Amino acid sequence: MTSATHELAVIDTSVYVENVRGGRFEQELLSLPFLVRVSAVVGAELVRGARSRQARQFVEQLTRRFPLVVPTESDWIRSGAVVRTLAARHGFEVTKLRELHWDVLIALGARRIGAHLITCNARDFRAIREVLVFKLLCW
């Protein structure tokens, strides 16, 4: 995947899962006009859910072939504040806040490197964007 503009993209777990399950985004992924970076958080989520040998190999290749975006100390601290604000605004349950925390870390990493975040989890990332400015593409 090459780019004439050298813009970056971080692809959310939801896109990879949908694509692996049924090839939903195959053409979009193959024709991306971005240089792809992989969030270490996305890698962890994918490893956690990889049940088959093929799925585990996919994650291993993904995290080896593309540069990783790893949360920094300040990302971790800032993520807590963003999640706290989301809880106050939306009254999310504890379980939902745990899920959102991972997404906030993904968004913070994408923001830090100036990347577009590509997801099919529009609802959660739009809620996060109420609190945190970052480039978002919803598929």
Per-residue pLDDT tens over the stretch 110-137: 999 999 999 999 999 999 999 999 999 9
The pLDDT score that the predictor gives to residue 21 is 86
Work out the average pLDDT over 4-31: 91
- The Cα 10–Cα 107 span in angstroms is 9
Consecutive H or E run containing 30: helix 26-30
Provide long-range contacts, Cβ within 8 A and 24+ apart, for 84-91. Answer: 85/131, 86/127, 86/128, 86/130, 86/131, 89/130, 89/131, 90/127
Work out the average pLDDT over 2-14: 83
CATH superfamily of the domain spanning 8-138: 5'-nuclease (3.40.50.1010)
Find how far residue 109's CA is from the centre of its chain. 9
Q: Decide which of 68 and 55 is more confident.
A: 68
pLDDT in tens, 26-51: 999 999 999 999 999 999 999 999 99
pLDDT in tens, 56-103: 999 999 999 999 999 999 999 999 999 999 999 999 999 999 999 999
Find how far residue 112's CA is from the centre of its chain. 13
pTM of the model: 0.92
134 close to 107: Cβ distance less than 8 angstroms: yes
119 close to 5: Cβ distance less than 8 angstroms: no
